[in-house]
Amino acid sequence: MLSTTTGVRVLREGDLPALQVLIDRDPIVNLFVDHRAASTRLSPRWLGGEIWGYFEDDALVSACHVAANMVPVEATAEAVAAFAERARLTGRLSSSIVGPRAAAVGLWERVQEAWGPARSLRLNQPFLQTADAPLVTPDPRLRAVLIDEVDVLYPASVAMFEEEVGESPELPGRNSYRARVTQLVARGWAYAIIEDGEVLFKAEVGSASAKGCQIQGVYVAPQHRGKGLGTAGMAAVVERVRREVAPVVSLYVNDYNHVARAVYERVGFVQTETFASVLF
C-alpha cells in the first residue's frame, strides 16, 4: 500500500500537469502564476525562486509562487497556514504578497512578526476583467512601442512606478527595471500614445496565457490628465490586446483610486474578485 503525504514541498517540472489543473480553476485570477509556470517550467533559475505546493494525501490542493512576488493559488485556509509556516522559517524572500484577498491577508497576518513591517498595505483591490469590445471609442493613436523607443518610454515607466509604488524602481539592489521595460517592448507588450517624442499614455501586458492577459503600468502624463485620454487609451488597449494577445483582459486597482476605477468601468471592465497587496 502506497503511503500518503500531507504538507508543503517545492514543485518541479513533473508537477506541471497537476499545477495546471489547479490554475485552471480560475485561469484569469491565477494568470500571473500560469504565465510564470509556463515560461519557466518551474526551473528555480528562471523563476528566481520557487513554487510551493500544498498536498493532502498526495493530491495537490493549493500552490504559492515565492519569488519577487509571493502569490497564492487556490489557497485553502490549511494551505495558507502551511505556506506561512514555511515562509517564517525561510525568511522574507519576496518584495510583496499579492493575490486574492483572503489568502493574501491570511499569509500576511501569519508572517508579519517574522518578516517585519510592511511599507504599504493595500487590502482592498478590485480585480476587474472584460471579454468584450470596449464600450467607448478607442484612441486610434495607440500603438505598440518600437524597440528604438525604449528611451522615450522609460521615463514614463519610472514615473508610473514611483507614483504607484511610492519609491524608485532604480534603488540599489533591485533587478534592472530598464531590462524589464525593454523586454516588454521587445515582446510587443508595451503600448503607448506618443506624440513629438512625449508619452501621453501607456500600458503594458504584464503576463498572458492562451486564455487571458493582465494589464499593468497604466499611466497618463500629468499634464494630459482630465481630458479623457485614459478612457480612450484603455479602450484602445482592450481592443488591441484582445486581438493580438488573449481574449480576456484583466487588471487590479486600488480601491481608493476612484479616477482609475471610473475609467475602467466606462471601458467595460467588471469586478470578479478582490485582491490584496502587501508591499515591503
CATH assignment at residue 257: 3.40.630.30
Mean pLDDT, rounded, for 64-75: 97
Q: For 215-255, write each residue's pLDDT tens digit.
A: 999 999 999 999 999 999 999 999 999 999 999 999 999 99
Residue 166: predicted pLDDT: 86
For residue 145, what is its C-alpha cell?
A: 512601442
pLDDT (average), residues 195-217: 97
Same structural domain, 146 and 258: yes
Domain count for the chain, please give it: 2
Range of the domain at 136: 130-275
Predicted pLDDT at 2 = 43
Residue 100, beta-bridge partner list: 275
Q: Is residue 28 part of a domain?
A: yes
Which of 60, 94, 117 is where one domain is finished?
117
| Residue with the larger pLDDT of the pair 174 and 131 | 131
Which pLDDT belongs to residue 242? 98
Same domain, yes or no: 101 and 218? no
pLDDT at 176: 86
Q: What is the pLDDT of residue 172?
A: 63
Q: What pLDDT, on the 0 to 100 scale, is given for residue 1?
A: 35
Residue 280 lies in a domain: no
| Domain shared by 98 and 138, yes or no | no
Encode pLDDT of 32-56 as tens digits.
999 999 999 999 999 999 999 999 9
Whether 138 and 269 share a structural domain: yes
pLDDT of 5? 85
**Domain co-membership, 48 together with 174:** no
Check which CATH number belongs to the domain holding 102 and give it.
3.40.630
pLDDT at 3 over 60: no
Task: Convert the pLDDT of each residue in 11-30 to its tens digit.
Answer: 999 999 999 999 999 999 99
Is residue 124 situated within a structural domain? no
Q: Which of residues 71, 96, 117 is at a domain's end?
A: 117
